[in-house]
Chains A and B, each alone.
Chain A
Amino acid sequence: MSHLIAGFPDGETSVAIADALVKGGASILEIQLAFSDPSADGPAIQTASTVALEKGYSTKQGLEIVKKIHDMHPDTPIYIMTYGSLAFTPGVENFVKMCKDAGVSACIIPDLPFDNDEGLTAACAKYGMENIPVAAPSMTQARLEEMASKGFKYIYAALRAGTTGSQTVIDQATLDFLDTVGKGGAKVLGGFGIRTGEQSKVLCKHVHAVVAGSVFVNIMLKDPKDTAGVEAKARELSGL
């Protein structure tokens, strides 16, 4: 699963990035709708979100990009990642419906906790979509097991203790964490801080999908035209 931000570095290029990611082997696209205060993201994604918002890519315009990408790659599932404010303010059900209409198949909203989600899981179910909660290694065993047993089809496992963007170490503790996340039968999407093909190769044995995000954003922050670099990195990570 590969990540991009709708509208970063601009609308057209974000569509080209999606294209490059799919060509590079991405089997799922995680598309982030830019939010003004992305506190669960690192500085790279926050900076990119600011750019997208300055160019006018809030919810409606962002979902237009999503629709375009969906029309180009109808077989690649698109998961929306964003923050509670963008879902809650227009009404959670309304937001989910807008996503559905754009071709989205799941929502990842880390600050709507699974046990107090403002109706997100129910709304997703109503429109044939999934709510994908985000698990973190710092969760207590009890809370983690509660999340794992709730019947979610997918759970996003954030591997590092902090926010996105730093190096991830895949050690025994990480593997134990992944085991617990998947205990209730959820397919595990594992990510946060994946940088190299080597890391990806180790991790992919233990998860349903490897998630890579800020590694691509960083390439585009360095050179906003470098979709070829994005494709090459996607190839490295997917092992194509």
Chain B
Amino acid sequence: MAKSLVESDNGFFDKFGGKYVAEIIRRPLDDLEEAFNKFIKDPEFLEELHVIQRDYIGRETPLYYAPTATELLGGAQIYIKLEGLANTGAHKINNAIGQCLLAKKMGKTRIIAETGAGQHGLATAAACAKLGLECIVYMGEVDVRRQQPNVATMELYGAKVVPVTSGSRTLKDAVNEAMRDWATNFATTHYVLGSALGPAPFPDIVRTFQSIIGEEVKRQAAERNIDIAAIVACVGGGSNSIGVFTPFIENPNVRLIGAEAGGVGPKLGENAARMVGNAAKVGIVQGYKSKFLVDDDGQSQPTRSISAGLDYMGIGPQLAALGECGRVEFTSILDKEALEAVNFFAKNEGILFALESSHAGAAAMKIAKEFPKDKAIIINMSGRGDKDIFITSPVFRPEKWKEFLAAELKRLENNEDIHDAEIMNK
């Protein structure tokens, strides 16, 4: 395996990656690279990070054996890495804490972040609250409207959420806005990018802080004699997947499988599949070279997925390289398959997957039979599904949900306590 598939060679993973940015943003990237390379070898920094990971994030997270799922799927043993049990509900906190601690060591006092679904913004807001840093989260206006619970929680952590009204008003526009802020304010400010993408050194930094997921899986499997045949993770930008894959990239006995958002169908605009199908092109967008859903001119195209966290036109450069050379296999999962997987693991294992992670669950359900019973498939449950209640409830129980929302609105308008509300006296 070429070294540049494991970590970047001067910012590149094979032909993908790089630092394709205007010079205005070059300096903060170079400064960050230097600081990261220094602190990631500093025992004091690593010890401080370790204590926070243990006591605040709640690591290590369990590697759960799923007996009913194993039996029902009738093939490999199913194990689920419960990253959703990390504080704030998803793996995003691993990177947010790592970068915020690094920023603090660099003397930065102000943190900015982009967020789509809000999970990365939430994790960054929590990390800033914990570490005493000012936090500004850029979020597309469309996402602010559809992800109100996360907006409310970020504000509770003391973050300022800035709705981005330019472009398509979603994740990619939030990235653009954060880049602009950084270009102006980098003397005091660190930009916590949330996925393993963007210009170098971000893909290396995010992978490093997320690879604790894979390191734990490796240790837990060794302690319990689990014979891993495959690891399955969902891939939006790719931070949870590269995190869990990293310690296994050079082990040819372990299949690495990425599940992309298949949305509602295979046509351009109906999904967010960059590696499956042939809609994506090699391109240079938002500071890095990778595979993107762009048109023949290079304009970014709309994507679609029930899972906001997978709804993005690009993929991290290392995963693109690992996909092109065949080391990571990609599959795409439809919205309805992801919903079925949420239901399957909730009913049979008492585990509630986030809609992002349930793409990995669905992919594992499809391939479990290909393996003998003495082999294991690890599903990375990157996040838990509490946050999706506004998306899953209208699907699973639309009438009751509608009644609930109407009653809540009425109660708010009448300024009533729940005990006095009309709905209690029916």
Contact with B along A132-156 (1 / 0, CB 8 A): 0111101110010001000000000
What residue in chain A is nearest B301 (Cβ atoms)?
A: A36
Asked if B294 is at the interface (CB within 8 A of a chain A CB), the reply is: yes
What residue in chain B is nearest A35 (Cβ atoms)?
A: B299
Contact with A along B185-213 (1 / 0, CB 8 A): 11000000000000000000000000000
Contact with A along B9-34 (1 / 0, CB 8 A): 00000000011111111111010000
Do A136 and B22 have beta carbons less than 8 Å apart? yes
Do A88 and B27 have beta carbons less than 8 Å apart? no
Asked if B269 is at the interface (CB within 8 A of a chain A CB), the reply is: no
> Given the complex, which residues of A lie within 8 Å of B286, measured CB to CB?
37, 39
Binding site secondary structure of chain A: loop
Docked Cα-Cα span, A143 to B185, in Å, equals 20
Asked if A237 is at the interface (CB within 8 A of a chain B CB), the reply is: no
> Given the complex, which residues of A lie within 8 Å of B285, measured CB to CB?
37, 85
Do B26 and A46 have beta carbons less than 8 Å apart? no
Asked if B392 is at the interface (CB within 8 A of a chain A CB), the reply is: no
Give the Cβ gap from A36 to chain B, nearest Cβ, in Å.
4
Do B26 and A58 have beta carbons less than 8 Å apart? no
Segment 98-125 of B: residues with Cβ below 8 Å from A: none
Out of B21, B166, B180, name the residue touching A162 (CB < 8 Å).
B180
Tally the A-B contacts, defined by beta carbons under 8 Å: 130
Do A111 and B183 have beta carbons less than 8 Å apart? no
Contact A38/B176 with A113-B20, A116-B19, A163-B184 known, Cβ cut-off 8 Å: yes
Docked Cα-Cα span, A161 to B186, in Å, equals 9
Asked if B149 is at the interface (CB within 8 A of a chain A CB), the reply is: no
Out of B18, B26, B175, name the residue touching A136 (CB < 8 Å).
B26
What residue in chain B is nearest A109 (Cβ atoms)?
A: B22
Contact with A along B278-322 (1 / 0, CB 8 A): 000101111101001011111110000000000000000000000
Asked if B359 is at the interface (CB within 8 A of a chain A CB), the reply is: no
> Given the complex, which residues of B lie within 8 Å of A37, measured CB to CB?
167, 172-173, 175-176, 285-286, 300
Give the Cβ gap from B317 to chain A, nearest Cβ, in Å.
14
Do B166 and A113 have beta carbons less than 8 Å apart? no
Asked if A204 is at the interface (CB within 8 A of a chain B CB), the reply is: no
> Given the complex, which residues of B lie within 8 Å of A58, measured CB to CB?
295, 297, 299
Do A116 and B20 have beta carbons less than 8 Å apart? yes
Asked if B342 is at the interface (CB within 8 A of a chain A CB), the reply is: no
Give the Cβ gap from B20 to chain A, nearest Cβ, in Å.
5
What residue in chain A is nearest B299 (Cβ atoms)?
A: A36
Asked if A59 is at the interface (CB within 8 A of a chain B CB), the reply is: yes
Asked if A184 is at the interface (CB within 8 A of a chain B CB), the reply is: no
Give the Cβ gap from B93 to chain A, nearest Cβ, in Å.
26
Contact with A along B24-65 (1 / 0, CB 8 A): 111110100000000000000000000000000000000000
Docked Cα-Cα span, A116 to B288, in Å, equals 12
Contact with A along B224-266 (1 / 0, CB 8 A): 0000000000000000000000000000000000000000000
Do B184 and A161 have beta carbons less than 8 Å apart? yes
> Given the complex, which residues of B lie within 8 Å of A112, measured CB to CB?
20, 284
Do B18 and A39 have beta carbons less than 8 Å apart? no
Contact with A along B309-341 (1 / 0, CB 8 A): 000000000000000000000000000000000
Contact A139/B284 with A89-B294, A90-B296 known, Cβ cut-off 8 Å: no
Do B166 and A47 have beta carbons less than 8 Å apart? yes
Docked Cα-Cα span, A83 to B298, in Å, equals 9
Contact with B along A10-52 (1 / 0, CB 8 A): 0000000000000000000000000111111011001100100
> Given the complex, which residues of B lie within 8 Å of A46, measured CB to CB?
166-167, 176
Asked if A110 is at the interface (CB within 8 A of a chain B CB), the reply is: yes
Asked if A60 is at the interface (CB within 8 A of a chain B CB), the reply is: yes
8 A-B pairs closest in CB distance? A162-B184, A89-B298, A85-B298, A110-B22, A40-B22, A136-B23, A136-B24, A84-B284
Report 23 cross-chain contacts, Cβ distance below 8 Å, ordered by A residue: A37-B173, A37-B285, A39-B175, A39-B287, A43-B166, A58-B297, A84-B284, A85-B284, A85-B299, A88-B283, A89-B283, A110-B22, A111-B22, A112-B20, A113-B20, A135-B23, A136-B27, A138-B24, A140-B30, A158-B22, A161-B24, A162-B184, A163-B183
Known contacts A111-B21, A116-B19; 16 further A-B pairs (Cβ under 8 A): A37-B176, A39-B175, A42-B180, A84-B20, A85-B285, A110-B22, A110-B23, A133-B23, A135-B23, A136-B24, A136-B27, A138-B27, A138-B28, A161-B183, A162-B180, A162-B185
